[in-house]
Chain A
Amino acid sequence: MSRGEEQEIPLHIPDAPYRPGDSASFEPWKWHPKDLKKPKSDCKADETYEHAVGLVRVLDDEGEALGDWNPNLSFEELKLGLEHMVRLRIFDDRMMKMQRTGKLSFYMKSFGEEGIAIAQTMALKNEDWIFPTYRQPGAQFVRGRDMVSMICHCIGNVEDNVKGRQMPVHYTYKKGRFISVSSPVGTQFSQAVGVALASKYKKLDEVTITWIGDGASAEGDYHYGLNFASVFKAPVILNIVNNHWAISTHYNIASGSNNFATRGLAYGIPCFRVDGNDFLALYSVTKWARERAELGLGATHIEILTYRAGAHSSSDDPSRYRPSDEHEYWPGGDPIERLKEHLIKNSKWTEGEQEELEKKIDQEVVAAYKEAVKYGDLANGPYPSSDTIFTEVYETVPWHLQEQWDEMKKWSVE
């Protein structure tokens, strides 16, 4: 009896397909870049059924960009996307190293999922709102956030723009229209609909993009979001990142169906499933969704099929619940490698240039890190003043907080 099948027990309890000690293998993909045509922007939702049960791809297994969904981006655009993905990966590795030395309390990498927020944000306009989870920090690079400022947040020093109030990776960057990350999973998904409706009410050409994980799609917020977006035709792009794992919870336990994309069809929202490690496909589907929103036709629901190559967080040890090499078998490969190979195949890029790029970014990250720690870190301080506990709880400080604030000053451990 293989895993996931019902055993001699009275309840059906699903399991992950592979556990530590098993040899992981994934079915080779049956989907190819030329399979699916791009529907018209004003199509009916059910015309996207094939796109929801299939997989939108542009890059084939050999790195060639093919088919109707090829966005035909310029070399400069592709190089920028590659650069941002490399930047995020090197940044993540550096932050995780710093976490191990106590300079951060906690960290979460985007390993294997770097393409998602970067390609999708590049497909949007700068006025569009980004309502991320903790796995889309890369959007900030696209919106021009200074890396030093990101590190200062993560290490909780005096220059942290959220004043040491949030755990690392819970970024806020209003200048880049990147809305504050919250730990409770899923909440942003339905809130994004409100952001989008506000833009619509103000008659602004703004779209909101948001994401949720396969695991968190079990929360009510996911379903509220789809329904409100459908009822009010909100200009919102509703992405569900199926990276297979929510800490130890495999998507078999998140849903009784192995397809998340089609759920939107029941709400009358067009749906796509897209190769989440294919930069070009991500870009193209997002562009389509933006165009549809701009026409006043409301939301698009996108399942982004990928694999969480790293641990959930620095507190997690995935070798306890999945084969440690499982991600190496993922048919979607690695988003950076795939875009790089595409560029090399088209004689626009070389391994040498890639190495140079990585070296340059590594230097950039090291320089940013050195700059950031000048303002303190979690292990050594200095920290934001403990006054920040009391500020911005309300617009102005009410009497009861003022009294407690005065009391705290007597006891501050700073």
Chain B
Amino acid sequence: MMVEMNMVQSVNSALGNMLEKDQDVLLFGEDIGYFGGVFRTSDGLQEKFGKHRVFDTPLSEGGIAATAFGMGINGLRPVVEIQFADYIFPAYDQIVNEIAKVRHRSGGEFWCPITIRTPAGGGIRGGHHHSQSPESQFTHTPGLKVVYCSTPYNSKGLLISAIESNDPVIFFEPKRCYRGPFYGDPHNVPTWKNHPEAEVPEDYYKIPLGQGRLAMEGDKCTIIAWGTMVHVAEKAIINSGISCDLIDLQTLLPWDKKMVIESVKKTGRCVIVHEAPKTSGFGSELSASIQELCFYHLESPIHRIAGWDTPFPHTTEWDYMPSTSRIVAAIKKTQEE
């Protein structure tokens, strides 16, 4: 049955479905058990499934990741939460050197089917340490899959695929969009009510990893985005009055090469939008690949609209996050060049 959900509820629903379906799925992290998580994504799950299935851990991201590693190689399927993506770095060694590489280093004898969920991105006045979007720190790590959801519908379907994946998945949830899409205007923030992507099946379903979502269809330019920026880009496309494909990449590693290439070959133009700093952001990888694969179809340079190469600010965050007007200008520029 389809139910209207916000992204907190859809994530909760995915976790509930998987706890129900698979006894080897365990949830743990900071404040996620009794309290149900600081964003409420595991609300009610401990009560429903028991303290041994859903539990609070010490405040130790490295410990959480290492414990997940151990459980993962010993046959369980842990789903852990890092409370904010900014706090994932004490776990970085475990993720990059251990979790990502154990299948390879053990000649395929051990593997780590774990999912690391973490709220990411800005727009909540979180300053330096509650706003970052560190996806490219993980897309540069062989052995990981990296997912960045954007809506209630895709968060649930992607999360179930991530949990069922036998490879480790870093699963970013754009916290700005937990309770509504964000169109770049902090003074006018809607809820998910009546949004088509908020119609979510209560039951188990999957969206395959590695596939993008064509969120809008057009023929003059290809816009590629993920997370909160999908919605900001949608608004920008509407404001620009220019017919564009909007690709919500959904999985960053491995990304949907087929969808991107087909679209860029069709439109001949491309703008990539992400919140993370521009330099070595995932837009760099996409831009380089598109240039390699679509060079003779490109009508204008590929543009990247991204966060600045600076720490994420607190009071001035609206000058940091890519705005609709910056995206509109980039789209127009692709048409004029």
Q: Say whether B319 contacts A183, CB under 8 Å.
A: no
User: Smallest CB-CB separation from A377: which chain B residue?
Assistant: B315
- Of A118-126, A139-147, A195-203, A386-394, the stretch lying at the interface with chain B is A386-394
Nearest-neighbour CB distance to chain B for A232, whole angstroms, equals 23
Q: Does B126 touch A at the CB level, under 8 Å? A: yes
Tell me the count of chain B residues lying within 8 A, CB to CB, of chain A. 45
- Grouping DSSP codes into helix (H, G, I), strand (E, B) and loop, the A interface class, with mixed when no group exceeds half, is loop
Given A16, A156, A400, which contacts B315 in the complex, CB threshold below 8 Å?
A156
Q: Does B201 touch A at the CB level, under 8 Å? A: no
Q: Say whether B87 contacts A247, CB under 8 Å.
A: no
Q: Does A94 touch B at the CB level, under 8 Å? A: no
Q: Say whether B38 contacts A315, CB under 8 Å.
A: yes
Q: Say whether A401 contacts B310, CB under 8 Å.
A: yes
Q: Say whether B87 contacts A184, CB under 8 Å.
A: yes
Q: Say whether A378 contacts B56, CB under 8 Å.
A: no
Q: Does A368 touch B at the CB level, under 8 Å? A: no
- Of B47-55, B153-161, B162-170, B245-253, the stretch lying at the interface with chain A is B47-55
Nearest-neighbour CB distance to chain B for A18, whole angstroms, equals 11
B 82-110 to A, binary, CB cutoff 8 A, 1 in contact else 0: 00001101100000000000000000000
- Contact residues, B284-337 vs A (CB, 8 A): 308-311, 313-316, 318-320, 323, 325-326, 329
Q: Does B127 touch A at the CB level, under 8 Å? A: yes
Q: Does B199 touch A at the CB level, under 8 Å? A: no
Q: Say whether B35 contacts A247, CB under 8 Å.
A: yes
Q: How far is the CA of A10 from the CA of B59 in the complex (A)?
A: 23
User: Smallest CB-CB separation from A11: which chain B residue?
Assistant: B52
A 100-118 to B, binary, CB cutoff 8 A, 1 in contact else 0: 0000011000000000000
Q: Does A298 touch B at the CB level, under 8 Å? A: no
**Residues of chain A with a CB closer than 8 A to B50's CB:** 9
Q: Say whether B128 contacts A183, CB under 8 Å.
A: yes
Nearest-neighbour CB distance to chain A for B71, whole angstroms, equals 11
Q: Say whether B314 contacts A166, CB under 8 Å.
A: yes
Given A167-B314, A412-B319, verify A249-B30 contact (CB < 8 Å): yes
User: Smallest CB-CB separation from B277: which chain A residue?
Assistant: A404
Q: How far is the CA of A106 from the CA of B314 in the complex (A)?
A: 11
- Contact residues, B24-56 vs A (CB, 8 A): 30-31, 33-35, 38, 50-52, 55-56
Q: How far is the CA of A246 from the CA of B51 in the complex (A)?
A: 19
Given A254-B59, A401-B308, verify A9-B130 contact (CB < 8 Å): no
Most chain B beta-carbon neighbours within 10 Å: one of A16, A164, A218 = A218
Q: Does A215 touch B at the CB level, under 8 Å? A: yes
Q: Does B254 touch A at the CB level, under 8 Å? A: no
Q: Does A358 touch B at the CB level, under 8 Å? A: no
Q: Does A33 touch B at the CB level, under 8 Å? A: no
Given A401-B309, A404-B278, verify A411-B51 contact (CB < 8 Å): no
Q: Does B210 touch A at the CB level, under 8 Å? A: no
Q: How far is the CA of A183 from the CA of B329 in the complex (A)?
A: 35
Q: Does A350 touch B at the CB level, under 8 Å? A: no
Q: Does A72 touch B at the CB level, under 8 Å? A: no
A 154-166 to B, binary, CB cutoff 8 A, 1 in contact else 0: 0010001000111
Q: Say whether A15 contacts B315, CB under 8 Å.
A: no
**Residues of chain A with a CB closer than 8 A to B56's CB:** 248-249, 253
Q: How far is the CA of A6 from the CA of B250 in the complex (A)?
A: 41
Q: Does A21 touch B at the CB level, under 8 Å? A: no
Q: Does A320 touch B at the CB level, under 8 Å? A: yes
Chain A contacts to B: CB under 8 angstroms: 7, 9-11, 13, 15-16, 19, 105-106, 156, 160, 164-167, 170, 182-186, 215-216, 218-220, 246-249, 253-255, 315, 320-321, 378, 383-386, 388-390, 393, 400-401, 404-405, 408, 411-414
Instruction: Provide 19 A-B residue pairs closer than 8 Å at the C-beta atoms, listed in order of the A residue.
Output: A9-B51, A165-B315, A167-B125, A167-B128, A215-B58, A220-B62, A247-B31, A248-B35, A249-B30, A253-B56, A320-B35, A389-B308, A393-B309, A401-B309, A405-B308, A408-B319, A412-B319, A413-B318, A413-B319
Top 10 A-B pairs ranked by shortest CB distance? A164-B315, A218-B58, A183-B129, A248-B35, A105-B125, A386-B319, A156-B315, A9-B52, A167-B127, A218-B60
With A184-B90, A247-B31, A388-B313 given, name 17 new contacts (CB 8 A). A10-B52, A13-B33, A13-B51, A15-B34, A156-B314, A156-B315, A164-B315, A184-B87, A185-B59, A215-B58, A247-B35, A254-B58, A255-B58, A389-B310, A400-B279, A411-B325, A413-B323
